Structure 1
Amino acid sequence: MTDVDVRGARIHVRESGDPSSEPVLLLHGIGRSLEDWAPQHARLADAYRVISVDMPGFGFSQRPEPTTLRTLAEGVLGALDALGEHRPVHVMGNSLGGAVAMQLSVLAPDRVRTSTLVNSAGFGKEVTIALRLLAIPGLGRGMLGAADRNAMRRTERALFFDGSFVTEERIDHAVEVGRQPGSAVVFLEAARALGTLRGVSAGWRSALLAEVARHPKPTLVVWGERDLILPAHHLRAARAALPWAQSHVFAETGHMPQVEKADEFAQLVRVFLAAQQVSAR
């Protein structure tokens, strides 16, 4: 683990693998951290330079400016620059990280080689009620202020189909992240920028997907069929919006297949990335 400076803000990153290998960039979801990608470092680092980032304001990173999809993507680009990584990356994003990955491909298409979107935001209105309630003035800050250990346990339980993944270590980490200065502010900014009490806003979704269609990249879209945060039927909308994309559904899996089905996920993406290397020759 290390920290880099991006426009005066401290951004927390993790690297593994040979720095000369092709770069893979891993992006987490709302209110989460790079720990959500920890299992993939061990499974991909033999063949790739693997970089995971606490996006600006999340995890243990500072917030240089108000939180939007664009500022998150710019912060990620700044972190890559600070690490000296200027080659096109294979970007993988979970949940909000998927939307940021798409924003990245629009903002700097020459910096993205492939996209892997994992239970990604951006393909449907439906989202867990816990995130929709944050849009209510006064209530959202109160909910986040009450993020004690029991609340964190409930949040972790909602992420996984298999409850054995809700470990004390995960809850400890979630509590520590939730106690970081400004974490509630960033969470609310992101939630309110992307949605309302009625669900994920259509405006930014349609605009982003239209821009992504102008800069198509080799894309893999995956979902856990038992996702309680963003329902698996959003995959149908993803297939319609990104007709060039490959797709896969993980059975009996929740919101984070990269954790819950770590081996299967790694094998799937390795085959996908290897195919892109062959086609580029």
Structure 2
Amino acid sequence: MPIHMITMPKWGLSMEQGQVNGWLKPLGARVGRGDELVDVETDKIASGVECAFDGTLRRQIANEGDTLPVGALLGVVADDETPDADIDAAVEAFQRDFVPATAADADAGPQPEKTQIGGRTVRYLKIGDGGGTPVVLIHGFGGDLNGWMFNHAELAAGRTVWALDLPGHGESGKAVESGSIDELAQSVLDFLDAQQIGRAHLVGHSLGGAVAMTVASIAPQRVASLTLISSAGLGEEINGAYIDGFVAGTNRNALKAPVLNLFADPALVTRQMIEDLVKYKRLEGVQDALKKIAAQAFEGSTQRRVLRERIGALAPRTLVVWGDADQVIPSSHAAGLPEAVRVEVLAGYGHMVQMEAAADVNRLLKSFFDEGT
């Protein structure tokens, strides 16, 4: 068996280093693909570094409290028969040859861009240039393209993957007209036109799922498949207190309580995540946009638009992914869908399942896309 190096991952374009919070598996433990080995915190989020190999955790190089650059050696996985001397030699060679990326190196990679579409600023990120059917990632209410930081690059193997900030969100223009789901869906179609994307796999999270389904209902010829993650639009219930709290909150204390509803593990909500939301909420036009969008999409704890009865006919293929610990939209909405709709409910994860269980979600999506090219 080869000697596998576990290194500091790069989560999102701006990540340069991470702090090791502690090992989740003891030295000598048998580990498998998808097992979380070590907890790492960045200025955006805390998460477990997942193993991509089967074997034994033979070395823990990083110590709790260490702050290490992206790509630095954290640990080693190998089989039990691999001699210690071979592992020590591999570690020595890695450490000797490792050169941390500079800020200039990071800036040389794909970066978000902005364009004007119909008089509105749209921020987007494009990664990959493969020949497969492109993917378009659509975030949820109050989110932005950074909600896909653990997925974007991984999904771009063999195809181009786009993520955009919807109107009123992220660094896109904050002005919306009615703020309806139809308006948001039209903005996605306008983006497809502007980027000359004829047909795409649409992936929508939360409200972005309802937007994706609406795009499919308006222009079915543009949609190769739908992937709906913790999606709005598949049932009436929603956590109205979360929506109200998020819309109303403008400081760190007010926003922390609703944001904790997004994750099954509250430790994943970092101070920097809350600070970034506070900065966003204080931008001119944001409050007005979110109030309009919320009023159009929700009434108290009820979703105004439910497309459940049409889901089987909206796209040639549909995948629904949910975390069973979702506190915003109940995972029960994934039950009882047409047989043609593939459903995956992941145990122990919350509303941001694409972040909490990134490796599992990425595997599901890549396999789903590859089945339809």
TM-score (norm 1): 0.86
**Residue in structure 2 matching 1:24, options 108, 130, 135:** 135
**Retained in 2: the 8 A contact 1:72–1:100?**
yes
**Residue in structure 2 matching 1:234, options 317, 330, 333:** 333
**Which runs of 5 or more residues in structure 2 are unaligned?**
1-111
**Retained in 2: the 8 A contact 1:7–1:64?**
no
- 1:146 Cα deviation (Å)? 3.8
C-alpha separation in 2, matches of 1:273 and 1:252: 25
Paired position in structure 1 for 2:118? 7
Q: Say if 2:348 is the partner of 1:252.
A: yes
| Pairing of 1:168-247 with structure 2 (within 5 A) | 168-201=271-304, 204-205=305-306, 208-237=307-336, 239=337, 242-247=338-343
Amino acid at match of 1:89: A
Q: Say if 2:197 is the partner of 1:85.
A: yes
- 1:209 Cα deviation (Å)? 4.0
Q: Which has the higher contact order (CA 8 A, sep 6+)?
A: 1
Amino acid at match of 1:71: E
- 1:74 Cα deviation (Å)? 0.8
Q: Which has the higher strand share?
A: 2
Cα RMSD after superposing both structures: 1.9
Paired position in structure 1 for 2:270? 167
C-alpha separation in 2, matches of 1:14 and 1:216: 25
More displaced stretch, 123-132 vs 41-50: 123-132
C-alpha separation in 2, matches of 1:163 and 1:198: 23
Q: Which has the higher helix share?
A: 1
Are the structure 2 counterparts of residues 223 and 73 from structure 1 closer, same or farther at C-alpha, using a change threshold of 3 Å?
A: same
Q: Deviations over 1:10-59 (max 9, x none)?
A: 01111111165421110111111111111111211222211111111112
Secondary structure of the corresponding residue to residue 150 of structure 2:
helix
**Retained in 2: the 8 A contact 1:99–1:120?**
yes
- 1:164 Cα deviation (Å)? 2.8
Paired position in structure 2 for 1:73? 185
Query: Which of these two proteins has the greater Rg computed from alpha carbons?
Result: 2
**Retained in 1: the 8 A contact 2:181–2:210?**
yes
Percent identity, aligned pairs only, is 33
C-alpha separation in 1, matches of 2:132 and 2:273: 30
Paired position in structure 2 for 1:137? none
Are the structure 2 counterparts of residues 177 and 243 from structure 1 closer, same or farther at C-alpha, using a change threshold of 3 Å?
A: farther
C-alpha separation in 2, matches of 1:144 and 1:116: 26
C-alpha separation in 2, matches of 1:5 and 1:123: 32
C-alpha separation in 2, matches of 1:116 and 1:181: 32
Are the structure 2 counterparts of residues 47 and 176 from structure 1 closer, same or farther at C-alpha, using a change threshold of 3 Å?
A: farther
| Pairing of 1:93-112 with structure 2 (within 5 A) | 93-112=204-223
**Residue in structure 1 matching 2:238, options 120, 127, 152:** 127
TM-score (norm 2): 0.66
Q: May I ask how many residue pairs the two structures share in their alignment?
A: 261
C-alpha separation in 2, matches of 1:61 and 1:210: 32
Amino acid at match of 1:29: G
- 1:198 Cα deviation (Å)? 4.5
**Residue in structure 2 matching 1:268, options 359, 364, 367:** 364
C-alpha separation in 2, matches of 1:211 and 1:113: 16
- 1:131 Cα deviation (Å)? 4.7
**Retained in 1: the 8 A contact 2:182–2:214?**
yes
More displaced stretch, 255-264 vs 181-190: 181-190
C-alpha separation in 2, matches of 1:247 and 1:212: 12
**Retained in 2: the 8 A contact 1:105–1:212?**
no
